[in-house]
Amino acid sequence: MAERLQGKVALISGGASGLGKAQATLYAQEGAAVLIGDVQEELGREVANSIAGSGGKAAFIGLDVTDADSWASAVSQAVTRFGKLTTLVNNAGIFHPGGIMDETKDGWDRMIAINQTGVFLGMKAAAPALLAAGNSSIVNISSLFGLMGSPGAISYHASKAAVRLLSKGAALEFAKQGIRVNTIFPGQIKTPILGDITPEQDAAIKAAIPMGDAGDPMDVAYASLYLASDEAKYVSGAELLVDGAWHAGQ
């Protein structure tokens, strides 16, 4: 087992699936204790059990990122179970299509509540424990769609663009207090959030991405590992794109 996160205790929202699962698995392989928080309880427990079965330190807690009390329980559980909290990964998120003409107020509210307010609530709930631990960090998962527009995903773009500056504001707020805050902007990564992609859509994605294909969850996990590790001790307020050079041509 490698040790790039030895001594770290990480709370990872949305850790039951996709990018969160990959980050939880890699963090644990690198020595961190990991608390997986998700609304998908069965899948989340499976991930925690699988990590523990391979000799890692992991547990699961039901977490709804839109709920401040739920965040308070998750932070308290991390500290009770693993002694402290050094690392928060705000990874949970949803996507649904819809432009100005067809997005509904309910759809907008749900997207903002999970993707944007969830990140604010997570940082707010975790900050006291992260400050107490010292040498801490937050990794927020935005999206390439937080940096560039497209037709037909209006509330997703708005929510992910907000995460970009939520991160920068927090990075400055905590710059002298031992919490680093960084953001990852994944392009198109093969996870369940993509839903059922048709062969036509798959071809369009391959055509749009300079490196020719969507990425793998581990591509994001390795970026997250670096930002969470002490190797990034002078890195805060940073934006790390993991997008197969997609944004380079925009």
C-beta of 35: minimal distance to ligand NAD in Å?
13
**Whole-angstrom distance, CA of residue 182 vs CA of residue 14:** 18
* Interaction between residue 87 and ligand NAD (CB under 6 A): no
Q: Which candidate, 48, 60, 156, places its Cα nearest to that of 99?
A: 156
Residue 19 or 129 with smaller CB distance to ligand NAD: 19
Work out the burial of residue 178: count CB atoms within 10 Å of its CB; fewer than 13 is exposed, 13-18 middle, 19 or more buried: middle
Please identify which residue in 8, 9, 18, 78 interacts with ligand NAD, judged by CB under 6 A: 18
Please identify which residue in 25, 29, 137, 191 interacts with ligand NAD, judged by CB under 6 A: 191
**Whole-angstrom distance, CA of residue 128 vs CA of residue 151:** 39
Residue 55 or 151 with smaller CB distance to ligand NAD: 151
Residue 68 or 194 with smaller CB distance to ligand NAD: 194
Residue 131 or 238 with smaller CB distance to ligand NAD: 238
Of residues 106 through 165, those in contact with ligand NAD by CB under 6 A are 114, 141, 143
The two structure tokens encoding residue 19: 């990018």
C-beta of 63: minimal distance to ligand NAD in Å?
5
Number of residues that bind ligand NAD (CB under 6 A): 29
**Whole-angstrom distance, CA of residue 227 vs CA of residue 224:** 5
**Whole-angstrom distance, CA of residue 127 vs CA of residue 170:** 10
Please identify which residue in 11, 12, 17, 153 interacts with ligand NAD, judged by CB under 6 A: 17
Choices 13-21, 47-55, 129-137, 200-208; region in contact with ligand NAD by CB under 6 A: 13-21
Please identify which residue in 30, 38, 103, 219 interacts with ligand NAD, judged by CB under 6 A: 38
The length of the chain in residues reads: 250
* Interaction between residue 193 and ligand NAD (CB under 6 A): yes
The two structure tokens encoding residue 33: 């204790």
**Whole-angstrom distance, CA of residue 136 vs CA of residue 175:** 11
Does the annotation count 156 as an active-site position? yes
**Sequential DSSP letters for 130-156:** HHHH-SEEEEEE--GGGTS--TTBHHH
* Interaction between residue 182 and ligand NAD (CB under 6 A): no
C-alpha distances in Å from residue 25, one per residue of 12, 32, 84, 158: 11, 10, 19, 30
Residue 132 or 188 with smaller CB distance to ligand NAD: 188
Name the residues annotated as catalytic: 156
Binding site for ligand NAD (CB under 6 A): 13-14, 16-20, 38-40, 63-66, 91-95, 114, 141, 143, 186, 188-189, 191-194
